[in-house]
Amino acid sequence: MIRKFYIWHYVVFITSAIFILRFQEVLNSFTLLYYSIVCFFTVENFFINYYSFSQLDQILSPIILFAILVLVILKRNRWKFLSSRICFSNAMLIVLIFTFLLTPLIAPYNPNLQFNLSVSKLLSPFSSKKIGLIVDYSDDNYTPTKIEKYIHFKSIFEREVVDENYFLADSIITSNDINIYQRNTEITLPNGSNLKTQNALFIFGTDEFGRDIFSRLIYATRLSLFIGALAVGITFILGLILGFISGYFSKLIDGVLNRFTEMLVSVPTIFLVILFLAMFGNSLMVVIILLGSAGWMSLFKIVRGEVISIKNKNFITSSKLIGMSNWKILINDFLPLLLPSIIVNLVFQFANVIIAESALSFLGLTGNHLYPTWGAMIHQGQFYLEQAWWIVLLPSIFLISTLIVIYDFGRKFELKEI
Amino acid sequence: MGYRIKMNNSWFKFSKRLLSYVVTLFLLISIIFILLRISPGDPVQKFISPDLHPSVAEKMMHEFALDQPLFVQYGNFIKNLLSGELGFSYNFRQPVSSVIGTALPFTLLFSLTSLIFQLAISISLVTYVSKRKGNFLDKCLEKLSLGIYSVPTMLIGLMLLYIFSMKLELFPSSDLYSLDYPYFSFFEKMIDIIWHMTLPLITLSLPGTLIFYHYLKSNVDISYRKNFILFLIANGKSEKEIFSKHVLPNSLSTLISVVGVELGILLGGALITETIFGLPGMGRLTVNAILLRDYPLVMGAVLISGIFVLLSNFIADIIKINLNKRLKAEIL
Amino acid sequence: MITRIKAFSTLILLSFLLLTCTKTHQKSTDRVVVGLQNDLETLNPLYSMSEPELNISELIYLSLAGHDWDAELGTVTSYPLLAEEWKWNSDSTSVSIKLRDDVYWSDGKKVSSDDVVYSFDLYSDANVQSRFFGIFSNYFTKPDLSIDLKKSFEKINDLELKIKFKPQSVPSVFDFDMPILPKHIFEKNDRRELATSEINVKPIGCGPYQLDNWTRNQNIRLVKNENSFLIKENSVKEIYFKIVPDYNSLLNQIMKGEIDLAQNIRPEDVASLKSQVHLQISSRKGRSYDYVGLNNIDPNEFQKSGKLSPNQYFGNAKIRMAVSLAINRKSILDEFLLGNGELMVTPISPIFKSEIDKSLNPIEYNLTKSREILRNEGWTDTNGDGIIEKNGKKFALTLNVPSGNPLRTYSSTIVQNNLKAVGIDLQIATLEPSIFFNKMFKKEFDIWIAGWGVPIPLDLKPYWHSNPSIGGANIVSYTNKNLDKILEQLSRKVSNNTRTELLKQFQKIIADEQPVSFLYWIDTIVASNKKIQNLQINPLGSVQQCWNWVIE
């Protein structure tokens, strides 16, 4: 029965689901957009002083959501992919794309938000607790300026820490006085305090710091895919250019580059990678560059082979005679022919990079970034394997599914042009 | 006459290959040497603490010859290398060769066993499946293989550890030997090692087995469609003979090249497996040495690993050349 | 092919059957197995630095005196070991030591006072660079810090000698409790080569246990020395140190009874270990603590010119207090250490019961107070980005943490989160220990998390004196003239009452000024098999006085 549905049905379904489930957040994003625009025109130096990328992220998310919805409905007949049937790979691919683009919308909490540890440590999936929010209505007569409203709103939106005004509790009982229960401690607030109670549902549970795993997983997906994509980009550029140089120009350069590549292939890359990480530090850029530079060899061979076989053909010689620069020849003449095999190679390379990055962060070699990656989550979770196996299981499921999707698509690309 | 010229040609290529390997090795060592020396971090760090006098650290620096210029250190290193000495490990206070000597045999044994395991299982599977085309096992493997292949080594290891060691307590979770190993009889020692190595071996071999299986199977399928097989069938040769004498060797040659690549991957995979299962091998030794800035040990370990990878590639090349010649002779 | 597979599989099946049959083994009953996570590097007391190295080398080589811990008073008492007795003279400037008559090295030669003198010669020799080099300040020393043997030692006969100390110094048993080395073995080596000689791995000792076998990275086997006066009939015959680098397998082996004694058990495993009938869990308290280092001086200026100028963030004691108020150390203690520790007030360990000031309480967790202090000092958030600023400068720093320590990795995340709540933005940088400690000692960090192990007996000067040559461990460069005076007075001979009073003042100053943000004292959790009698697990160690161990 599931097979009857097309991709575009599925996309519309997911988009609507996100919209309904995260309605509050969509509203919040638009409010933020409104405030941003107002402040942009009224406050000087708004962009420099008060604005940051995370707000752009928040604001763009619902816009992207609607854009996807509209796009898919309009193009459902024109784009072949949207009219193909659902299978596991397709469905998972859509999920990954959505997770990548709409991260702030889907994730309920900030991935670094550590809730009160006594209440939220290592909760199992589907646990629910209560959030207490104390709103300060101290100055009723004071009308805040636009910028202050913006700041206030933003801080509610992007809550990063719990403190005495925002906390997690096992239960909050409001009778005469407000009683707040946090595991073994009981806090009582007098009746006058403005305490709002919300429900907190931890779909995937929490980790040892009390952070919501679902949110972390969403952001981890984005970061892992991002690292993979950039690294593959570097591989692409390196492999293409070096392969082209090697195949197109003199035999001497070819020989040298060939030897060099062979040398790199025969070296146990993993040791060099570890060594470089230890030496140059483990910041994000270093990791990406390293992963990108470790895998261009196979692309190099493919490009070089193809370039050598094509370079004496007529249309290439004619381009040369016209006087096109080598660079233009590469882009206009070679690239379209090379593209199919390059894409196949890059797809598999993408999988390799993701595995490599997970392995390195699992061994603990890639350090702390602001957001986690799948490998980093598994690394942190392996110490709690017995008590909280879900911390390892959930990122692993995402990791494995992503790899399955990549391999599947790689094989499909490979077969499409035998 | 023509045959002899061909022989010379292949020997020439052979020695060119050998030379390129040696050059590669040399470049590898030099690069690592330079990298290690410029990286921050100090092997003498442990000698600086409030209980110890500051000149202790200075003396250690001198003893490790770290206060001499770069060229002198490099020259010394190469000189020692050529005479077979790999230097002195800072952390173990022993010659690097003996430190590596305690870890290398294990890693070799582990990787080799894993390789044999992978080859044996994949070849047996292919043999079994190609006899009865399209049976249950075939379809099963087809679907499962992609799934299992996508699971990275570390997850397989963690999963096996969790299920078989923590929950079911069937296998030990780490180490190579049990406590009373020295008291065991020879037979019991063997059993003990096998018992400890089961989970790590499965972890390491699973992805490789699947790759081999896939590769081999597609090659076998292609071979079956070739004309000369039809010719042999028409001639009345038995199924078994066709398979073992013609189809298999043909496909094996392409498998050998994959084996060469797989060995490189094995070393990396062995690293993770050794970490998860606490096995005393080269992988863990090297990583720890890097983290502790034990320069001589890192150099020695990478050198040895590099030599082995190159060696295995080399052997793979030789086998490939030999197999090809034989096949060519047989077909013609 | 098929038959081959069948044969192979039946072989495997047979082996597994045999495996299950032959699993019960005779374990040696007269053996204690101690689990270690790292191999030793040397068994030479000259270079033994890690705790297992010290423990084992002291079993092989005897010291003149041994130490006991009095838990009630929190003090150390000494008892004679190699020395039969020692007598201080009236003004404690010299001590007469009489050696036991019945101690022999494992090659048969008798231990004599020549060995004692030679040992101290080696320990203080600048060419040897032993771990004790430079600490013999109570002895008469030459300019290169080695002991002046003629002035310090007077040999009366083969079993008696006298040690003379510098006048005006305060010597104690701790000045001569180093392990004694065999002169006739050690003098065979060139002093500069001692670090790499064979003695490091094949020791000749006179102690209650001798080295039987050392398989690197696997195990160390000690067997009891029947000739030692410490060994009784029922002393444990064999102590086997098993090296298990992987913590999980170490834990597993403890649970199964394959390892009898292991330290550094993680707090989260205590519950499951306690449920095992044959195991006993003890804690060694108050020997190590963690802290958040707040550099009192500006690191950039110090790097450039060596000048000490106050740190723009933490040079002010009030800011440091605000940081301490904002860190919820109790949550780390409860959630990660699971209560296996104690909140810290001052660097004087709570095990020194007679010396700590019980009236001082640990700093509370109070975000409002912290914010108020920061605001009063001029730090406010003017642009609503969550980070406080002062004069256009953001309170944003890098928190440096050494890798490989789960507690510090955990607490760094909590500290980062806690300080974010008051507007201080921290980026965590995890460095390899060698790099980290290198930079820390060079005072390159603004804020970091590290820890110290505290010596017994109490020694505060190296950690808190402002003079860099005296206070070598005063990484934050905390300067307080009053404190310096107190520390100097403490190192002179004072009455007990004066000492208590001085320590009280010391603690008050530290608590008020918060030179660093003290986190907590960490318990070392030890798991042991109940079958071992007479285990002594106290702040001094867990593998000690092994000759008293008896297996029931």
Composition of chain B by helix, strand, coil, percent to 5? 80, 0, 20
Is residue A95 within 8 A of residue A17, CB to CB? The reply is no
C-alpha to C-alpha distance for C102 and C405, rounded to whole angstroms: 46
Q: What is the dihedral of CA A283, A285, A291, A297, to 10 degrees?
A: -150
Contact A400 B155 (CB under 8 A): yes
pLDDT number for residue B225? 75
CA closest to A402 among chain B residues: B150
Q: Which fold has domain C286-523?
A: Dipeptide-binding Protein; domain 3 (3.10.105)
A175 versus B68: the higher-pLDDT residue is A175
Strand (E) or helix (H) holding A354: helix A335-362
Q: Which tokens in the block code for residue C175?
A: 């000045």
pLDDT number for residue B51? 52
Contact B287 A274 (CB under 8 A): yes
pLDDT number for residue A231? 94
C-alpha to C-alpha distance for A276 and A288, rounded to whole angstroms: 12
C-alpha to C-alpha distance for C509 and C479, rounded to whole angstroms: 12
- Cα–Cα–Cα angle for B261, B266, B268, nearest 5°? 110
Indicate whether A167 and A50 sit together in one domain: no
Is residue A116 in a domain? Answer: no
Q: What is the CATH number of the domain that holds B136?
A: 1.10.3720.10
- One-letter amino acid at A6 equals Y
Listed residue (A207, A148, A303) closest to C413, CA to CA: A207
pLDDT number for residue B1? 47
List C-alpha distances in Å: C50 to A137, A368, B88, C43, C57.
Answer: 59, 29, 21, 11, 11
- Superfamily for the C27-41+207-260+531-551 domain: Periplasmic binding protein-like II (3.40.190.10)
Instruction: Please report residues of B whose CB lies closer than 8 A to that of A399.
Output: 152, 155
CA closest to A45 among chain C residues: C383
Contact A150 C384 (CB under 8 A): yes
Indicate whether A389 and A256 sit together in one domain: yes
Is residue B300 in a domain? Answer: yes
Our count of domains for chain B comes to 1
For chain B, the distance separating the N- and C-terminal CA atoms, rounded to the nearest angstrom, is 18
Instruction: Please report residues of A whose CB lies closer than 8 A to that of B309.
Output: 266-268
Contact A114 C410 (CB under 8 A): no
What pTM did the predictor assign?
A: 0.78
C-alpha to C-alpha distance for B5 and B15, rounded to whole angstroms: 16
Task: Provide CB contacts within 8 A for C247, sequence distance 6+.
Answer: C37, C266
- One-letter amino acid at B262 equals E
Indicate whether A174 and A283 sit together in one domain: no
Residues of C with CB under 8 A from a CB of A: 268, 331, 334-336, 367-368, 383-386, 403, 406, 410, 413-414, 417-418, 420-421, 428-430, 432
pLDDT digits (tens, 9 = 90+) for A328-370: 877 877 888 888 888 888 998 999 899 888 888 887 777 677 8
Is residue B62 in a domain? Answer: no
Q: Which tokens in the block code for residue C487?
A: 């520390």
Chain A nearest CA to C366, separation (Å): 9
Is residue A121 in a domain? Answer: no
Task: Provide CB contacts within 8 A for B35, sequence distance 6+.
Answer: A275, A276, A279
pLDDT number for residue C42? 84
Is residue C267 within 8 A of residue C261, CB to CB? The reply is no
C-alpha to C-alpha distance for C194 and A397, rounded to whole angstroms: 55
Tell me which residue has tokens 């707090």: C267
Is residue A187 in a domain? Answer: yes
Tens-level pLDDT at each residue, chain C (552 residues): 677 877 788 788 777 666 554 444 445 568 899 999 888 888 888 888 888 888 898 889 988 898 998 888 888 889 998 888 899 988 888 899 999 888 888 888 888 888 999 999 989 888 888 888 878 888 888 888 888 888 888 888 888 999 988 887 788 888 888 899 999 888 888 887 787 778 888 888 888 999 988 887 778 999 988 888 888 888 888 899 988 776 777 887 888 888 899 998 988 889 889 988 989 999 999 899 999 999 999 988 888 888 888 888 998 899 999 999 999 999 899 888 988 999 999 999 888 888 888 888 899 999 989 999 999 999 988 777 778 888 888 899 999 998 778 899 889 989 998 998 898 999 888 776 767 888 888 899 999 999 998 888 888 888 899 888 888 888 888 989 999 999 888 888 788 888 889 999 999 999 999 999 999 999 999 999 998 888 888 888 888 888 889 888
Instruction: Write phi, then psi, for A95 (nearest 5 degrees).
Output: -60, -45
Q: Tell me, what DSSP letter sits at residue C208? A: S
Indicate whether A151 and A298 sit together in one domain: no
Residue A95 burial (C-beta neighbours within 10 Å; 0-12, 13-18, 19+): middle
Q: Which tokens in the block code for residue B169?
A: 């307590």
Indicate whether A334 and A391 sit together in one domain: yes
Indicate whether A131 and A271 sit together in one domain: no
Q: Which of residues 234-293 of C touch B (CB under 8 A)?
A: 242, 244-246, 248-249, 252-253, 258-259
Task: Provide CB contacts within 8 A for C385, sequence distance 6+.
Answer: A50, A52
Q: Which fold has domain C62-193?
A: Dipeptide-binding Protein; domain 1 (3.90.76)
Indicate whether A341 and A308 sit together in one domain: yes
Is residue C521 within 8 A of residue C344, CB to CB? The reply is yes
Q: What is the CATH number of the domain that holds A408?
A: 1.10.3720.10
C457 preceded by a cis bond (ω within 30 of 0): yes
Is residue A195 within 8 A of residue A137, CB to CB? The reply is no
* Arithmetic mean of pLDDT, A223-252: 88
List C-alpha distances in Å: B309 to A355, B21, B305, B318.
Answer: 21, 10, 6, 14
Indicate whether A159 and A270 sit together in one domain: no
Residue A402: how many CB atoms within 10 A of its CB? 23
Side-chain half-sphere CA neighbours of C294 within 13 A = 24
Contact C413 A164 (CB under 8 A): no
Strand (E) or helix (H) holding C238: strand C238-243
SS3 state at C176: coil
Q: What b/e sequence results for C179-191 when a residue is b if at least 16 CB atoms lie within 10 Å of its CB, and e otherwise?
A: bbbbbebbeeeee
Instruction: Please report residues of B whose CB lies closer than 8 A to that of A355.
Output: 152
pLDDT number for residue A328? 81
Give every residue of chain B whose pLDDT is below 70, as ranges.
Answer: 1-11, 13-14, 32, 35-70, 76-94, 132-134, 146, 166-184, 243, 245-251, 253-254, 257, 261, 264, 268, 290-296, 320-321, 323-332
DSSP string, C423-490: T-EEEEEEE-HHHHHHHHHTT--SEEEEEEEPPSS---HHHH-SSTTT-TT-TT----HHHHHHHHHH
Residues of A with CB under 8 A from a CB of B: 259, 262-263, 266-272, 274-276, 278-279, 351, 355, 358-359, 362-363, 378, 382, 385-386, 389, 392, 396, 399-400, 403-404, 407-408
Range(s) of the domain holding residue B219? 102-325
pLDDT digits (tens, 9 = 90+) for B149-176: 778 888 888 888 788 776 666 666 666 6
Is residue B236 in a domain? Answer: yes
pLDDT number for residue C293? 93
- Cα–Cα–Cα angle for C147, C153, C158, nearest 5°? 135
SS3 state at C68: strand
Is residue A336 in a domain? Answer: yes
Is residue A122 in a domain? Answer: no
Question: Beta strand pairing status for C425-431 and C396-402?
Answer: parallel
Query: How many Å is the Cα radius of gyration of chain B?
Result: 25
pLDDT-above-90 percentage for chain A: 10
Chain A nearest CA to C23, separation (Å): 27
Contact C41 B292 (CB under 8 A): no
Our count of domains for chain A comes to 3
Question: Given CB atoms, is A156 within the 8 Å cutoff of chain C?
Answer: no
Contact B56 C133 (CB under 8 A): yes
Task: Provide CB contacts within 8 A for B239, sequence distance 6+.
Answer: B131
CA closest to C132 among chain B residues: B52
Q: Where are chain C's structural domains?
A: 27-41+207-260+531-551, 62-193, 286-523
SS3 state at C202: coil
Is residue B116 in a domain? Answer: yes
Question: Beta strand pairing status for C393-394 and C396-402?
Answer: unpaired
Instruction: Write phi, then psi, for B152 (nearest 5 degrees).
Output: -65, 155
Range(s) of the domain holding residue A95? 7-106
In this complex, the residue of B94, B103, B195 whose CB is nearest that of residue C19 is: B195
Strand partners, C394: C389
Q: At what angle do helices A390-416 and A213-248 cross, to 10 degrees?
A: 30
Listed residue (A260, A235, A213) closest to A107, CA to CA: A213
Contact A268 B35 (CB under 8 A): no
pLDDT digits (tens, 9 = 90+) for A125-167: 888 888 888 776 555 556 667 777 777 777 777 777 787 778 8
Tell me which residue has tokens 């030379």: B19
Listed residue (C396, C264, C407, C401) closest to C329, CA to CA: C407
List C-alpha distances in Å: B270 to A276, B104, B108, B263, B305.
Answer: 20, 12, 10, 10, 12
pLDDT number for residue A184? 75
Contact B53 C1 (CB under 8 A): no
Question: Given CB atoms, is C213 within the 8 Å cutoff of chain B?
Answer: no
Instruction: Please report residues of A whose CB lies closer than 8 A to that of C430.
Output: 367-368
Which of A179, A202, A225 is the last residue before a domain boundary?
A202
Is residue A111 in a domain? Answer: no
Q: Tell me, what DSSP letter sits at residue C377? A: T
User: Can you say whether residue C265 is alpha, beta or left, with left for phi > 0 and alpha for psi between -120 and 50 degrees?
Assistant: beta
Say yes or no to pLDDT of A374 above 80: yes
Is residue A193 within 8 A of residue A184, CB to CB? The reply is no
Is residue A134 within 8 A of residue A166, CB to CB? The reply is yes
Best to test chain C binding among A368, A370, A380 (most C CBs inside 10 Å): A368
The neighbours of chain B, by the rule of 3 or more Cβ pairs under 8 Å, are A, C
Chain A nearest CA to C331, separation (Å): 7
A283 versus C360: the higher-pLDDT residue is C360
Q: What is the maximum alpha-carbon separation in chain C?
A: 92
Indicate whether A381 and A284 sit together in one domain: yes
User: Can you say whether residue C392 is alpha, beta or left, with left for phi > 0 and alpha for psi between -120 and 50 degrees?
Assistant: left
Q: What is the maximum alpha-carbon separation in chain B?
A: 88
